[in-house]
Amino acid sequence: MKKQGIARRFGATVVNYKAFFAVLVMLIMMLFFNTRFYTAFNILDMLNSASILMIVSFGLTLVILAGAIDLSVGGSLVLGGILTIQALSVMPMWMAILFGSFSGAAIGLINGYIIVYQKTEPLIVTLGTSIVITGVAQQLTDAHPISAEGVDFMMIANGKLFGIIPNLVVIMLVVFVLFYALLRFTQFGRNIYAIGGDYEVAEYSGLDVKKIKAATYVLAGLAAAFAGVLLSSKLNSASSIYGDQTALTVISGIVVGGTSLAGGVGGVGRSLVGLLVFTVMENAMNMLHIDAYVQQIIRGVVIVAILALDSYDRKRKREDV
């Protein structure tokens, strides 16, 4: 009985931290192959390549924790980068970055008002918002990539701290700490969990549920647009097509990390690990020279397997009750 109890607790731990164990398994597997996977350059490169999507995920995690969804983050990312590059010619760089970033907050404000205060379906509204933003982006750029002049803007995302650590990784970690502290140590963060856990109970408890839930959309839009600014800095260009797959990729990472689409469970730490699953997997498969089509199949299988494990765990907990 004691051994069964230990095995049960271990199994529950694995399921609860499935994304972390998935990354751990991949790291262990790569020890048996003669590749350059375990080099400082490759480790930093993986973090660098995932940083932009991780920043988007931190903001979107708040929306999902509150029991909603936002498919417009890809559009906010694109528009933030485009507006920043266009604004560089008429205002100082810091002001252009703020202008581009807060365009995402404005989009989030519109989403929050329509969804929360007008009680409309978030999936449909944010999908429509994304389409509108894409059209605006194409109009602003004439559906062609635009480039920034000068190297100062480009060095924001391409520079390295102490000549070693990529700026993007540093910025991502700073944003992570801010969002983690917001959820962990503030009343606002605790209220988000309460709303996602049970909206009606939170409302009857006296929380301003509408304002709090709408605020999550503003923060998600702000994070996505800021990530777009960084992406444009990294590529030294902006385009209306850069965010086409952003929402689905980020949402998959968030859910794989352990944040429930039903709301109230998860956090930005889990989202970070969830995006790491995809990053480490892609890097490992490239190192092993696995065909691109096979990689797509493997990614799909891993996502389905992790979600199936999560579904099984929730079913087991309901049966135990």
The mean pLDDT of the chain is: 88
- State the average pLDDT over residues 171-190: 95
User: Half-sphere exposure of residue 285, counting CA atoms within 13 Å on the CB side?
Assistant: 16
Least-confidence region, from 119-133, 138-152, 263-277: 138-152
Q: What is the pLDDT of residue 176?
A: 96
Q: What is the pLDDT of residue 186?
A: 94
Instruction: Residue count of the chain, please give it.
Output: 321
Given a cut of 80, whether residue 4 has pLDDT beyond it is: no
Max intra-chain CA distance, the chain: 72
Q: How far is Cα 39 from Cα 36, in angstroms, rounded to an integer?
A: 6
Res. 10 pLDDT band, cuts 50 70 90: low
Given a cut of 70, whether residue 113 has pLDDT beyond it is: yes
At residue 77, the 3 state secondary structure works out as helix
Please, which contacts does 233-236 make with residues 24 or more away whose CB atoms are closer than 8 Å? 233/148, 233/153, 233/154, 233/155, 233/156, 233/157, 233/158, 234/52, 234/154, 234/157, 234/158, 234/168, 236/147, 236/148, 236/153, 236/154
- State the average pLDDT over residues 45-69: 94
Q: How far is CA 38 from CA 197, 296, 298, in A?
A: 41, 23, 22
Q: What is the pLDDT of residue 317?
A: 59
pLDDT in tens, 236-285: 888 888 887 888 889 989 988 888 888 888 899 999 999 999 999 999 99
DSSP assignment letter at 37: -
pLDDT in tens, 199-250: 888 888 888 999 999 999 999 999 999 999 999 999 888 888 888 788 888 9
CATH code at 37-289: 1.10.3470
Q: What is the pLDDT of residue 116?
A: 92
Q: What is the pLDDT of residue 316?
A: 64
Res. 318 pLDDT band, cuts 50 70 90: low
Tokens of 305: 């397997």
At residue 47, the 3 state secondary structure works out as helix
Residue 60 has phi, psi (to 5 degrees) of -65, -30
